[in-house]
Each structure stands twice: as C-alpha cells, then as structure tokens.
C-alpha cells in the first residue's frame, strides 16, 4: 500500500485530507483515507474502517445502514480528530453484482447471511490487511475503533495494531433494514443496542 495522491476536500462535516492508497499506481479502485488534518497520529487515533457499500454510501439505500454509519463516522472524526479508511471491498468482499444477487435471494426470504451462503460465498469475506498497511504507513500505533463489529476489532488486533477502545455507532433501525440488522446482531455478533 502506497500513498498515490493527497489533497484537501471540504465536506459538510469539515475539510479532510483525502489520501488515495493502492499498491499499483493509477489503480482505478484505490482505498481512500479521509483524515482530519488536526489529528495527532502519535496518540491513539479515532478510526473508522468502512467497507465500500455503493448502494448505501452513495445512493442512501435503506437495505442497510452503511450510508448513515459513514456519515456519523465522518461527523465524529471531524469533531474529535481521527480518520476514516474507505476500503474498496463492496458487499463484504463479494462485489456489487453479487451483492445485488444476494438482495434478490433476500427478497426470496433468505437472511443476509444465508443469501451469501446460497450464492457460494462466506458470511463475510472482508479482510483488513490493507487497512493495517495504511495505518502503518501513516505511523499510527494505537487506535480507538469506531465500530459495532467485534470481529473487526479482533482482526485489527491480530495484525498488530493496538486497539485501546471502541466507539459505538448507534443508528436507529428502519423498517426496511430491521431484519438485516437483527441478522447482524444475532449471527455476526454486532453490538447493536438499538436493535
């Protein structure tokens, strides 16, 4: 993972130093870091590792809560310092076409975990090595992870990043995503207090 480009971008939450990371130069799908420029990277840093979800993040889909999570994480980081790593692993790592296939299965009655299984994928095919490589490149040694997902904390700790704490992201469930959130809580062990 290497820094390929870096520039400040103003957003509704404030300005972020926006850094593109990839292993190949001109990779059309680089990971993106949104860094609050006032962050002290030598102290434990507030980090959101957000996996791409085009339908939620860009189009505001209510099938999941990804868009709202990203928005809240950006807001938190803008206020308290820290950074968001936007990882290009759409649909828990299976890509958007397969995610849309999985949605079809969900409409047929499968839950989000079963739908992936029926299509021949694991429950969750995401990996976090790239996030760790980016944190190393930025000189981050210890983090406070903005997440509801305990396995994400484990994955980062196993790769040698010190996780000092968790910052919860509480999103109110909607009628459209309540089933999805229940599966996340029951099958994936996510800590969702409002579900």
Q: Which of 20, 66, 115, 156 binds Zn ion (CB under 5 A)?
A: 66
Sign of CA pseudo-dihedral 60, 145, 125, 32:
positive
Pick the closer one to Zn ion by CB: 19 or 64: 64
Nearest one of 157, 141, 140 to 149, comparing CA atoms: 157
The Cα 52–Cα 82 span in angstroms is: 19
Give the one residue of 56, 82, 91, 93 binding Zn ion; rule: CB under 5 A.
Answer: 56
Q: Indicate whether 171 belongs to the interface with Zn ion (CB under 5 A).
A: no
List Cβ<8 Å contacts ≥24 apart for 106-111: 106/63, 106/180, 111/179, 111/180, 111/183, 111/187
Cβ nearer to Zn ion, comparing 37 with 122: 122
Give strand ranges (E) for 36-186.
45-51, 83-87, 142-146, 162-167
**Distance separating alpha carbons of residues 123 and 119, to the nearest angstrom:** 10
Is 57 assigned a catalytic role?
A: no
The encoded tokens of residue 95 equal 């890509």
CB of 170 to Zn ion, least distance (A): 17
Of 53 and 73, which CB lies nearer to Zn ion in the complex structure?
A: 53
For tokens 């938190």, name the residue.
76
Instruction: Identify the residue among 33, 64, 85, 171 touching Zn ion (CB under 5 A).
Output: 64
Pick from 53, 83, 85, 192 the residue near Zn ion by CB under 5 A. 53
State the nearest-atom distance from the C-beta of 177 to Zn ion, in Å. Answer: 9
Cβ pair 165, 148 in contact under 8 A: no
Q: Which stretch binds Zn ion (CB under 5 A): 16-24, 63-71, 100-108, 150-158?
A: 63-71
Residues 38, 42, 45: CA angle, nearest 5 degrees: 65
The question of whether 124 is a catalytic residue gets the answer yes
Of 102 and 132, which has the nearer Cβ to Zn ion? 102
Catalytic-role residue among 48, 63, 126, 130: 126
Residue 82 as a binder of Zn ion (CB under 5 A): the answer is: no
CB of 62 to Zn ion, least distance (A): 10
| Interface contacts to Zn ion, rule CB under 5 A | 53, 56, 64, 66
User: Catalytic positions, please?
Assistant: 124, 126
């Amino acid at each position: 993972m290497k820094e390929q480009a870096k520039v400040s971008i103003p957003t509704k939450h404030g300005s972020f130093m926006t850094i593109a990371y990839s292993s190949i130069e001109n990779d059309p799908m680089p990971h993106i870091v949104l860094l609050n420029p006032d962050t002290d990277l030598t102290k434990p840093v507030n980090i959101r590792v957000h996996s791409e979800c085009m339908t939620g993040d860009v189009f505001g889909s209510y099938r999941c809560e990804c868009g709202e999570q990203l928005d809240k994480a950006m807001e938190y980081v803008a206020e308290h310092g820290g950074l968001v790593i936007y990882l290009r692993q759409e649909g828990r790592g299976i890509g958007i076409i397969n995610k849309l296939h999985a949605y079809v299965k969900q409409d047929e009655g499968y839950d989000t975990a079963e739908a992936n299984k029926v299509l021949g994928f694991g429950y969750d095919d995401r990996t976090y090595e790239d996030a760790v490589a980016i944190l190393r490149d930025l000189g981050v040694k210890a983090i406070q992870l903005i997440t509801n997902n305990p396995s994400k904390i484990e994955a980062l700790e196993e790769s040698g990043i010190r996780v000092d704490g968790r910052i919860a992201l509480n999103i109110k469930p909607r009628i459209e995503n309540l089933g999805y959130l229940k599966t996340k809580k029951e099958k994936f062990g996510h800590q969702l207090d409002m579900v």
